[in-house]
């Protein structure tokens, strides 16, 4: 019998008794229960979907005190951050409830018949969407509410008409189990099948791989490391009938700061950037891992200001001992690859210290190891000779969730080139502020070219996240009773 153990993130001590990992048979049972729930849920009205999503949001808020306390023990993220994240999670559940009630999943294109022969003439056609089916959702470590059991993937899949089977993250097992208990109560109160939202748990990759391989699973949604996401994508592609896999993976999120702006606002920008690098102990997929500067006295001054501001930051403990070990190893890997440390202090057993280093653009472009994400409070300054070389740095990065451009407010040839280069590799381009903080909104795009995500045409945050779990279907010369359903699947 395999077990998994919850731990106190601050002390590394066990929390509670070991938990039994799900067997392959139990994983299969959860997938089969989701498949049984699919027929009814895909045909459900928007109002019914909205009722469930709002009920789940209410349940989270009603149990806030216990949930936040438990989450803090398992993640060390602190009650302020965790209360804010719970608020965000409830907000996005209700936002997708509103979308479901408005019939977003049922939107269609009506293309009336045109008399005559082709190519001008054609039959009556309606293009609408149908839900894919049960979704395997993999919880993230760094957002125990917003990207976990009832996070955005679950909310958007349910709003689309898809059941969900959640793979609990081992970094917050007890929290996941408690949230799942709330889910089951809400499902029962609404007379919905328990299998509509399932939960499986286990260490290693056995449980997740088994879930992705089950014939009832129609899509996968994942937030985590590039290595883990690539492995699951390979599983999805190797199935007898491959399925879509929506992975939000690693990203180094370049920040490009032009000298003219640094000359006037360098100190303020340094303080803002230092806070972003150390926010949440750097455990954000949008943490700024690379800072591209063009050689200039203002850039030199900015580096000194940033080093001072970052040295004053005091990151909290990382989510798990394994992540702390990976952070230390990642920093050492960067040093071995030839960077020059500017700030490298030894942290204590609980929390790391911020790391800042610098390297020239030629070396950065040549060394693949320098373009790998270091998950934690670390950032690398890359020195470029010109805007042209800055663009070469962006091309070397290859794919990122975000690129931030400071100082491109006036249209020039250089500004156009930088915006064009940033848009070529990123899902979101910022002109002010910092990349940490991802709004749940209609215009959000959280996903970019590989290695930042597996499906750059989609987003895992914002209203368009629902599109991942809906497939277009054309109905040609459909009878009146089908059309009367107004896009709602049978």
Structural domain spans, the chain: 3-249+453-483, 254-430
Quick one: residue 211, left, alpha or beta (phi over 0 = left, psi -120 to 50 = alpha)?
A: alpha
The CA-based angle 339-342-348, given to 5 degrees, is: 105
Q: Which of 248, 372, 373, 392 is catalytic?
A: 248
Which residues, including other chains, have CB under 8 Å from residue 179's CB and lie 6 or more apart? Answer: 60, 67, 148, 149, 150
**Structure confidence at residue 346 (pLDDT):** 76
Q: Which of 14-23, 263-272, 322-331 has the lowest mean pLDDT?
A: 322-331
Domain 3-249+453-483, second-level architecture: 3-Layer(aba) Sandwich (3.40)
Check whether 349 has a pLDDT greater than 80. Answer: no
Q: Which of 74, 101, 285, 373 is catalytic?
A: 285
Q: Is residue 474 annotated as a catalytic residue, yes or no?
A: no
Please give the span between the terminal C-alpha atoms of the chain, in angstroms, as a whole number: 43
**Structure confidence at residue 363 (pLDDT):** 96
Question: Residue 464: pLDDT band by 50, 70, 90 thresholds?
Answer: very high
Q: Is residue 281 annotated as a catalytic residue, yes or no?
A: no
Check whether 330 has a pLDDT greater than 90. Answer: yes
Q: Per residue in 307-327, pLDDT tens? A: 999 999 999 888 888 889 999
Q: Per residue in 176-190, pLDDT tens? A: 999 999 999 999 999
Residue 437 near residue 419, CB atoms below 8 Å: no
Order of all β-strands in the sheet with 470-476: 109-111, 125-131, 470-476
Q: What percent of the chain has pLDDT over 90?
A: 94
Indicate the class that CATH gives domain 254-430. alpha beta
Which is more confidently placed, 351 or 475? 475
Which residues, including other chains, have CB under 8 Å from residue 340's CB and lie 6 or more apart? Answer: 357, 358, 359
């Amino acid at each position: 019998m395999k077990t998994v153990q919850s731990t106190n993130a601050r002390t590394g001590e066990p929390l509670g008794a070991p938990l039994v990992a799900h067997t392959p048979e139990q994983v299969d049972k959860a997938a089969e229960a989701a498949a049984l729930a699919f027929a009814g849920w895909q045909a459900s009205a928007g109002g019914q979907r909205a009722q469930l999503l709002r009920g789940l949001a209410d349940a989270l808020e009603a149990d806030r005190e216990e949930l936040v306390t438990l989450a803090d023990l398992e993640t060390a993220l602190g009650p302020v951050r965790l209360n804010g994240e719970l608020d965000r999670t409830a907000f996005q559940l209700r936002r997708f409830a509103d979308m479901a009630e408005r019939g977003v999943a049922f939107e269609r294109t009506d293309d009336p018949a045109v008399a005559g022969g082709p190519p001008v003439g054609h039959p009556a056609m309606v293009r609408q969407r149908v839900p894919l089916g049960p979704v395997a959702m993999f919880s993230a470590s760094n957002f125990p509410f917003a990207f976990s059991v009832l996070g955005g993937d679950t909310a958007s899949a349910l709003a689309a008409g898809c059941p969900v089977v959640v793979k609990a993250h081992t970094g917050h097992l007890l929290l996941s189990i408690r949230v799942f208990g709330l889910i089951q109560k809400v499902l029962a109160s609404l007379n919905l099948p328990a299998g509509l939202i399932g939960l499986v748990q286990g260490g290693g990759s056995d449980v997740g791989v088994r879930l992705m391989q089950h014939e009832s699973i129609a899509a996968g949604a994942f937030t985590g490391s590039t290595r883990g996401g690539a492995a699951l994508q390979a599983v999805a592609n190797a199935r007898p009938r491959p399925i879509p896999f929506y992975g939000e993976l690693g990203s180094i999120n370049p920040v490009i700061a032009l000298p003219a702006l640094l000359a006037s606002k360098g100190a303020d920008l340094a303080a803002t950037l230092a806070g972003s690098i150390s926010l949440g102990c750097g455990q954000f997929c949008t943490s700024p891992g690379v800072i591209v500067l063009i050689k200039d006295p203002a850039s030199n001054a900015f580096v000194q200001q940033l080093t001072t501001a970052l040295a004053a930051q005091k990151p909290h403990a990382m989510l798990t001992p394994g992540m702390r070990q990976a952070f230390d190893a990642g920093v050492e890997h960067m040093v071995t690859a030839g960077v020059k440390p500017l700030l490298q202090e030894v942290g204590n057993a609980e929390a790391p210290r911020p790391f800042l280093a610098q390297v020239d653009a030629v070396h950065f472009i040549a060394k693949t190891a320098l373009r790998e994400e270091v998950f934690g409070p670390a950032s690398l300054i890359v020195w470029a000779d010109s805007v042209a070389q800055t663009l070469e740095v962006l091309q070397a990065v290859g794919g990122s969730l975000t690129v931030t451009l400071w100082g491109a407010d006036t249209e020039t040839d250089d500004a156009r080139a930088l915006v064009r280069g940033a848009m070529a590799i990123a899902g979101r381009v910022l002109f002010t502020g910092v990349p940490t903080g991802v709004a749940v909104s209609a215009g959000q795009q959280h996903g970019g070219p590989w290695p930042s995500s597996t499906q750059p045409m989609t987003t895992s945050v914002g209203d368009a996240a629902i599109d991942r779990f809906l497939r277009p279907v054309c109905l040609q010369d459909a009878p009146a009773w089908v059309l009367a359903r107004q896009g709602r699947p049978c």
